[in-house]
Structure 1
Amino acid sequence: MTSATSLFSPVEADLHILADNLKQLVGNDHPILSLAAEHLFGAGGKRIRPAIVLLVSRATMHDDITPRHRRLAEITEMIHTASLVHDDVVDESETRRGVDTVHSLFGNRVAVLAGDFLFAQASWYLANLDNLDVVKLLSQVIMDLATGEILQAVNSFDVDISMDTYLQKTYYKTATLFANSSKAAGILSEVSPETAENLYEYGRNLGLAFQIVDDIFDFTSSADTLGKPASSDLKDGHLTAPVIYALEEKPELKTLIEEEFEQAGDLEKALALVEDSKGIQRSRDLAAYHAKLAVEHMSQLPSSPTRQTLIDMADYVLSRLN
């Protein structure tokens, strides 16, 4: 499997600059929030979202990318990180990427404030890009992230959730940042409206594929691989693609979910039913469908090593399942 590190070699130097800048952007005015942010930005992760912004920037510029492109990549990572901090509080997760979460180290109050702080800083730097279209796109992302969390909460343990609702929630929680930051990078490069729309669709479909693969991992990977407890989505009542498909085949799964796994062993029974269904394979097919759509929206960009890397990203997302 191609690693994210080798895949991002065209923007490797850009990502090193980004890592240094992120810690400087947070500043030292608020020691506890700065400490929390430094812990977050030092926790690893593949930096997939800012890497895509940088790749799109390089694929759409004839000359070198501008400081505004770099700042957009940094803003993208700040928004993503802020959303993770809030997600961990809501989900009561003790670890992420194999390290302690902010709320487990500093408490919920600091974690919520740290997330708010990063969202606020991202918004301030966003405004300073002086591009209203880009401001609108990334502001929409912040609204979408909150909408996705609400949608997930209200559909908890809902066995009647449709695939359309699941994909809508997946867009809000994950794909919106891929989509709108890709389009924003194109706008900073002054691409045509048609190309900007293709960049949006590339990011949207890549983000959907990425999250569907993550949702499959919840059933097929260990806690060490995931960086969080395995099967946590189902346990918390978050019904993802493998479960929605499995419900079509396994009526007994519906009862277990509706009763919220109240008896000992119920969760294990539910997991066995999902694994015994076509749910995981059908979810793989769904992820492959969206990855293919993402690639199709790259065809309008001029041929270049960075465009090829964006195309290869779709294969990388799917290859994580191998």
Structure 2
Amino acid sequence: MQRVGALIMQQLMRHRMPQGQLLRRRNPTTPAVLLSTFTQQQQKRGTATSTVSSKQATPPPRHDWNRAVSEAERIVGYPTSFLSLRWLLSDEIANVALHLRKLVGSAHPLMKTAKHLLYNGKNTMQAWGLIVLLVSKAAGHAPSIPDVEQDKSAGVLHSQRALAEVTEMIRISHLVHNSVVNLQSGTQAGQDVSTYDDMSFGNKIGLLTGDYLLGHSSAELANLRNQEVVELISSAVRDFSESEFIGERDEQNNPLPYKPGTFQRPSLSVAVDFNEHDVMTPMPIGQVLGNPEQEWECRNILNAGSLLGKSCQASLKLAGQSEQMQRHAYRFGKHLALAWQACLDAEIFQCPTLPLDTTFSLVSAPVLFHLEHDPSLYALIEPGKKSVELIDYVQIHKAVIAGPALAKTKELQCKHTAAALSVLQHFPATDARQALENIILAMQDL
């Protein structure tokens, strides 16, 4: 069946894909070539444009993100953007949507989060459920799995599809909960009566929506009737909470970087990850503070990589795969999430000027790398201990793009992209694995 499916995919791609991509699909690309292509394109992006002769070879075509996602969705059966359609159309969420209309025109962060979730463009990654399903199909399942539990048309298990829905719901609930505003009397929102009413109402909607999604995902997770899977995904929710207690915070609970020199720089040999044989053991956070790259990895593994990695691992656990394959799935999900976060962190600093009324995370990779390069930048960040509204983001943006931090962030993205591609080679060569490779390579062109 896989061979027939591959032949069908080749015929489809003949009519849809550019000639360069068709040749690459006919001749399976080795990991070395994939990594070389990624590195070459990163180097071309980072260097200045030089004069070239007309006979010089044309650069490789850009990988289209939407096309890569569309092909992947076709492989797993149906668009994963509709994975959660069942609960999106429920009465509870429909009522939330009606209440959200009252927040239109207000400055509540929940509206920005809703726009971020609904806008399916290059700035969002509505593909976490898709990644879980692709990993599931790429790895396959044990022969002992009964036929009644298999979705033969898509090549995954019904329980794996349910797990993909749970992953999406937990991620969305986390983003919605993060939109809650801390209304203290010393803040502008706490002093302005009209603003306070809007913010208070938005907080209620955010809390109720996030709690509903988290509670519903917990019920769906329990229906899988697999204690080990429940423990894995529950530990990912725990990691979300733990990520909120790393470092200093302003009054709105926005994270702030450590002052350079606060912590002694640890050894670079310290691994930033969970125990390989027990990912439910908390991460040793104290051992990685002080190093920009390790601290960034620690924050984002807890905040994103843990859920995607453990969901991929749990999907193979449901399929009866070996522990070694489960660990490969975890590492792939973790590195993919980190590569995506590095891509997001670098995006705002690729603009020569900061757009009006735009901010960025002060613990993003470019800011942390620039603090290592120039500790004096912390003088612009220190006023943010009271409120990030007191920070001059324009000056920080100018300082970062003038230094080496953006190039280091690109190297960080390349590192985790290469790691994800390397781990992917442990999976059988199937159309699902090819789709995952296409998604990873398309990420570099966002």
| Distance verdict in 2 for CA 1:262–1:2, change over 3 Å | closer
Displacement of 1:113 after TM fit? 1.2
Deviation per residue, 1:254-288 (Å, 9 max, x gap): 22122339998943222111111100000100110
Tell me which of 177, 193, 208 is aligned to 1:113.
208
**TM-score normalised by length of structure 1:** 0.82
Three-state SS of the structure 2 residue aligned to 1:301 is coil
- Aligned residue number for residue 162 of structure 1: 291
Find the structure with the greater CA-based Rg: 2
1:134 aligns with 2:229: yes
Change (3 A) 1:58 1:149: same
Please identify, of 214-223 and 282-291, the stretch whose mean Cα deviation from structure 2 is larger.
214-223
In 1: Cα distance, 2:349 partner to 2:431 partner: 35
Task: Decide which of 370, 378, 387 is 1:254's aligned counterpart.
Answer: 378
Q: Which has the higher helix share?
A: 1
Q: Aligned runs of 1:204-283 on 2, under 5 Å?
A: 204-221=334-351, 230-233=358-361, 238-260=362-384, 266-283=392-409
Q: CA RMSD in A?
A: 3.4
Q: Which runs of 5+ in 1 are unaligned?
A: 93-102
- Structure 1 pair 162–90 and aligned structure 2 pair: CA distance change class (3 A): farther
* Cα separation, 2, equivalents of 1:224 and 1:277: 16
**Quick one: which of 162, 166, 173 aligns to 1:82?**
173
Q: Percent same amino acid at aligned positions?
A: 24
User: Match for 2:91 among 17, 22, 28?
Assistant: 28
Give the aligned partner of residue 12 of structure 1.
Answer: 74
8 Å CA contact retained: 1:144, 1:172: yes
State the Cα deviation string for residues 65-106 of structure 1 (Å, max 9, x = none). 1211111111111111111111222599xxxxxxxxxx8796
Q: Match for 1:73 among 164, 167, 190?
A: 164
Q: CA–CA distance in 2 between the matches of 1:131 and 1:229?
A: 47
Q: How big is the shift at 1:202?
A: 0.6
Secondary structure of 1:150's aligned partner: coil
1:198 aligns with 2:332: no
Is the contact between residue 202 and residue 297 of structure 1 (CA under 8 Å) also seen in structure 2? yes
Count of equivalent residues:
304
* Alignment-mate amino acid for residue 116 of structure 1: D
In structure 2, list runs of 5 or more residues that go unmatched.
1-61, 101-110, 142-151, 184-197, 250-254, 261-289
- In structure 2, do the counterparts of structure 1 residues 224 and 118 end up closer, same or farther at CA, with 3 Å as the change threshold? farther
**Which residue, 35, 38, 48 being the options, matches 2:127?**
48
Structure 1 distance, partners of 2:388, 2:315, is: 48
CA spacing shift, 1:194–1:139, aligned 2, 3 Å: same
Distance 1:308 1:90, change over 3 A: farther
Cα separation, partners in 2 of 1:297 and 1:28, compared to 1, 3 Å: same
Report the Cα distance in structure 1 between the residues aligned to 2:243 and 2:307, rounded to whole angstroms.
12
* TM-score scaled by length of structure 2: 0.61
1:96 match: none
